[in-house]
Amino acid sequence: MNNLDRNITLIAILFIVSAIILGALGAHALEKVLSVEKLSSFEVGVKYQMYHGIALLSLIAISDKFNFSLKIVYRLLISGVFIFSGSIYMLVFKELLDVNLGKIFGPLTPIGGLFMISGWLTLLVKLIQIKKTI
């Protein structure tokens, strides 16, 4: 395994482990202190983090099948998760922390989503550009 694959695998595992921890926190502690709407938003952040952790592990598992670098795809997906899920977590916790973070983190959520979409579209375009050998 090369260094890039190792690093992406470590990040993917951290995404998955922290999503499990955050999911448990949401299910057992936050449901008592957050509104249903805020808890639902929190769960969206956890789900996307988990999905992308699993997706990154899957891409690593098949990365040798591609004849192109996945570096930009990895960067977009990882950045997207940090920005998307991270901003959701901050917006949810602003009530608990009694801090006004909405102006800072509110606009970041869709930007993170665009990064994730861009990562998947980049992979799609790269795959379409491969010439069929059949």
- Per-residue pLDDT tens digits for 48-97: 999 999 999 999 999 999 989 999 999 999 999 999 999 999 888 887 77
pTM: 0.91
Q: Name every residue whose Cβ is closer than 8 Å to that of residue 134 and which is 6 or more positions away in sequence.
A: none
Q: Quick one: which of 25, 73, 13 has its CA closest to 49?
A: 13
Largest CA distance in the chain: 61
